[in-house]
Amino acid sequence: MTDSRSVARLKKPAMAEAAIAIDSTRIELARARVMARAWAETIVETRRTGQAALFARAAIEAFAACVAPQLTLSPSFVMVRGRLDATARQLAASIGREAAMLPVLKGCHFLTSLYATLLPGRERSALGAFYTPPALTQRLLDLAGEGGVDWSSARVLDPASGGGAFLLEAASRMRLALEGSEPAFVLAQLGTRLSGLELDPHAASLSQAALEIFLSDLSSASGRAVPVFVKVCDTLEETPVAQYDLVIGNPPYGRVTLSAAQRARYARSLYGHANLYGVFTDVALRWTRPGGVIAYLTPTSVLGGQYYTALRQLLAAEAPPVAIDFVHARRGVFEDVLQETLLALYRKGGKPDRFQVHYLNVDNEREARLTKNGKVGLPVDTGAPWLAPREPGHVELIKAAEGMAARLSDWGYGVSTGPLVWNRFKPQMRTRTARGLHPLIWAEAVTADGRFVFRAEKKNHAPYFKTEAGDEWLVVNQGCVLVQRTTAKEQLRRLIAAELPQAFIDAQGGVIVENHLNMVRALGKPKVTPAAVAAVLNSDLIDQVFRCISGSVAVSAFELEAIPLPSASVMAPIERLVANGAPRVAIERALRGLYGLKA
Ligand SMILES: C[S@@+](CC[C@H](N)C(=O)[O-])C[C@H]1O[C@@H](n2cnc3c(N)ncnc32)[C@H](O)[C@@H]1O
């Protein structure tokens, strides 16, 4: 007789061997993907999409022949003209057979995303065809489950379903929840409760094929065909019905030009130029039933970006966040598009409340570790940036910042960007001074330690500028605080500011400020001096507060204007320290005191 411990001991080597075999399959597949890409790049762009579709179809057919030999895949949603040459056909078939060595969902994910990587770059970007890796798909479904989604009864929609990453994972959880039921019943349930919408017919076909493979055992046991889950359509043109318990996905993002009718339809969530992500979130709200949830992979800029002002207001009013996970991926784990993302769960008709924040540390495409990190609430002005902790220490900081009602505007300042876009004025740049020229202020004039130094040291940067008739709008005559608009990722600080002194401007008869700088300018008589504003912006405390507003290296006027600050009336001690040339640590200590934080 063997006890359970000895069984475990016996099983371990077998499991280890299986894991090694899977790892070597992954290595083989990674190599084959490189070959497939190299092959795709030899094809002219006009034919590449069709060839990519044929290649992926051939691979998934070979995969199906190994893992579900009894299955006949339904035809693709569209016919593709042309044929694969013999070499490509062989490569595709061998990739399909190799992928069959992986667990079936992982194999499906590999093959559907292979299609996206073979697409011409421009088309891939236009569609936003970057499919979600399993580590993120699984966690987003877990979040939905934690939000109350019951897989045994929930209706689920992915409105941009691509290769079916979420459809497959949802199908897996739904069938598990119905384990023990008749296969025909399970198939029928999935058929009525799981749907995808997708613009790209090739991606839609691949996802349908993957679902047919995954559910093929139920199909053969019941003698019923696997239902059609995906509709090929433009989601923005569909008429929504608020019937889903869960709308889930990784919607495309990037700027989009909407038709006049679409702009009118989505006006409630638009602010300035439309972004696909915002529109797809608006769409999700329309498909979700009251009380249902939306689980979206989301660019972090949604929390603080100006373009998302109306969307934040809409979400706060109709579907406030319940939980967010910031995704921290090791370099190279994802394609760039997934670097600045979070997973968000919103409840339609929920009450705005403090919501849970987690960090999801992603080690590779498949594995992630989760850390809980406090709760945060929405600001009173829900269109303003939503402060969120990017690291553990930020929770206390946000609590302190929530009590700070003043903004730069209350101190008497507005923020704009330097007006000169240099490459539009190249002929007017000068390397030497002469009468009538103005100094040209570049980002490097603001030193890392917060001083203003007139210099132009980088490539193409000239120190002087010749204005011509009509250029008066470029000349800055008023002292201000300059803040760099971008900082390098590896730089310690996000906010780098310096006072541009009035005396320097007066001595030069006005200066020209280049566009990589923000200008914090007094509107009338300010309540806080520019020197104190610069010192506050250069403090570590405000640098950290700013990171709770923006996770990116860009520093926009909108975000600067949203920094929670102490009232101008309590700034006298800081003013004194700055006027007396006190060291930074002393200013830092005094500022922390104003926020009610320990020194
Ligand atoms: C970021 S991918 C996500 C795909 C899949 N849900 C996943 O997570 O792997 C976005 C998908 O949206 C699709 N898409 C873009 N615009 C669309 C539109 N107007 N209607 C429907 N789908 C669209 C793209 O083709 C692409 O497959």
What separation in Å is there between the alpha carbon of 116 and the centre of ligand 1? 11
pLDDT in tens, 31-58: 999 999 999 999 999 999 999 999 999 9
Q: Is the pLDDT of residue 453 over 80?
A: yes
Ligand 1 binding pocket includes 249 (Cβ within 6 Å): yes
Q: Mutation test of ligand 1: which of 131, 276, 341 has the most ligand atoms closer than 8 Å to its C-beta?
A: 131
Which pLDDT band holds residue 11 (cuts at 50, 70, 90)?
low
What separation in Å is there between the alpha carbon of 203 and the centre of ligand 1? 9
- For ligand 1, atom 13, the nearest C-alpha belongs to 160
pLDDT of residue 492: 83
Ligand 1 binding pocket includes 170 (Cβ within 6 Å): no
Mean pLDDT of all residues belonging to the chain: 93
CA 503 to chain centre: 43
CA-wise closest residue to 422 among 489, 554, 496, 517: 517
Report the distance separating Cα 298 and Cα 276, nearest Å.
Answer: 11
Strand, coil or helix: 590: helix
- For ligand 1, atom 2, the nearest C-alpha belongs to 129
Ligand 1 binding pocket includes 164 (Cβ within 6 Å): no
Report the distance separating Cα 259 and Cα 242, nearest Å.
Answer: 24
Spell out the domains of the chain, with CATH numbers in brackets.
408-594 (3.90.220.10)
Report the distance separating Cα 571 and Cα 60, nearest Å.
Answer: 66
Which pLDDT band holds residue 186 (cuts at 50, 70, 90)?
very high
| Cα end-to-end span (Å), the chain | 66
Residue type, 428: Q
pLDDT of residue 218: 97
Which pLDDT band holds residue 20 (cuts at 50, 70, 90)?
confident
CA-wise closest residue to 594 among 562, 558, 561, 569: 569
Average pLDDT over residues 401-412: 96
Instruction: Indicate the range of 104-108, 228-232, 242-246, 254-258 predicted with least confidence.
Output: 254-258
CB 48 within 8 A of CB 115: no
What separation in Å is there between the alpha carbon of 199 and the centre of ligand 1? 7
- For ligand 1, atom 16, the nearest C-alpha belongs to 127
Can you give the C-alpha Rg of the chain in angstroms?
28
What separation in Å is there between the alpha carbon of 163 and the centre of ligand 1? 9
What separation in Å is there between the alpha carbon of 132 and the centre of ligand 1? 11
Q: E-strand spans in 442-532? A: 464-466, 475-476, 480-484, 497-500, 511-513, 517-522
Q: Mutation test of ligand 1: which of 168, 199, 208, 234 has the most ligand atoms closer than 8 Å to its C-beta?
A: 199
Ligand 1 binding pocket includes 138 (Cβ within 6 Å): no
Angle (deg, nearest 10), helices 4-41 and 86-99: 160
Q: Is the pLDDT of residue 16 over 90?
A: no
Report the distance separating Cα 406 and Cα 570, nearest Å.
Answer: 11
Q: Write down the pTM of the prediction.
A: 0.90
200: Cβ contacts below 8 Å, ≥ 6 apart: 127, 129, 162, 232
Which pLDDT band holds residue 339 (cuts at 50, 70, 90)?
low
Helical spans, DSSP H, in 360-459: 394-402
The number of the ligand 1 atom at minimal distance from the alpha carbon of 196 is: 6
Q: Is the pLDDT of residue 2 over 70?
A: no
Strand, coil or helix: 302: helix
Instruction: Indicate the range of 4-8, 269-273, 543-547 predicted with least confidence.
Output: 4-8
Ligand 1 binding pocket includes 168 (Cβ within 6 Å): no
Calculate what percentage of the chain has a pLDDT beyond 70: 96
The number of the ligand 1 atom at minimal distance from the alpha carbon of 276 is: 16
Report the distance separating Cα 318 and Cα 47, nearest Å.
Answer: 44
Average pLDDT over residues 500-521: 97
Strand, coil or helix: 232: strand
Instruction: Indicate the range of 123-127, 293-297, 570-574 predicted with least confidence.
Output: 123-127
Who wins on pLDDT, 190 or 24? 190
Report the distance separating Cα 370 and Cα 4, nearest Å.
Answer: 30
